[in-house]
Each structure stands twice: as C-alpha cells, then as structure tokens.
Amino acid sequence: MSNINSGAGRFISNEEANQFKGAYEDRKKKQLIPEQDTVRSEFFGSNNLQKILDQPGCVGIRVYHAKRREKVNGTEHLVPRVVLVGVDKNGDEILTLTEPVEAGMKDMPAGRDGQLADGPLCPPECNKVGKGG
C-alpha cells in the first residue's frame, strides 16, 4: 500500500512537537546563528492551501525544503523556505492550478503555476507562537 493518500501523516502531541522544534532551534544555536536570523516557521493562508487541495485528484500536499538568497535585517542570507505542491494518489505533482469556472463564463480559465511559496516567515511574523495549545 502506498503512503501517498489523504490520511498520510499523524497528529502529534504538543510535547512531541516542542521536542521537534526545540531540537532544530538548539542546532541553530550551536551553529552560532543569531536567533533573529533563524527561520522557525513559514505561514500559508487557508485560502491558498484550499486552492491546492481543491485541484482535481489532489489527495495532499508535498512540502519541499528549499533555500533562497534574501535580505534579513539588512544583510543577505541563504534563507530556508518551503515550497508546497498538490499531489495525486499516484504521487504525481499537480503543477498547474486550475481556477473554478465562474458562472456565465463560456471559456475555461487558463491554468497557472500551482506551487505555493513565499509565506511570511517567523521571525518576524511569530508573535502568536504557541497559542491555543
């Protein structure tokens, strides 16, 4: 049985999640990377995530770890990022995002590239980390 299915992954306890995140942050500290330059997370809005999930045949989202040169606090760094793309039940990526046809439109809308990136990073967008747990 393939691990590529709509139930892939598991929910973990807050304690286990904190261990995962803590190990990452500890490693960055040992590398002497200043806390303000350590990317801890990247946010993506529910509307964009839903657009990926609504693609025909999509059973989930693949997350690619990536890096790109960006200015952080006025200095250029190689910044960790993620790229999200929809995946079908065969494990094939859905690279074209198709928008639903609006009522009254006679032509099918053109697809557009469907890989999601460039969410706000934490830091600085992390003033609510840990809420709701």
CA angle 44, 48, 52 (to 5 degrees): 115
Residue 129: its pLDDT value, please? 53
Ranges of H-type helices in the chain: 14-30, 46-53
47-98 pLDDT per residue, tens: 999 999 999 999 999 999 999 998 877 888 888 999 999 999 999 999 998 8
Q: pLDDT exceeding 90 applies to what percent of the chain?
A: 57
Contacts of 51 (CB under 8 A, 6+ apart): 97, 99, 114
Query: Is residue 133 scored above 60 in pLDDT?
Result: no
Does the pTM exceed 0.75? Answer: yes
Lowest model confidence (mean pLDDT) among 9-23, 40-54, 118-132: 118-132
Q: What's the CA gap between 94 and 111, in Å, rounded?
A: 11
Domain ranges of the chain: 41-100+108-122
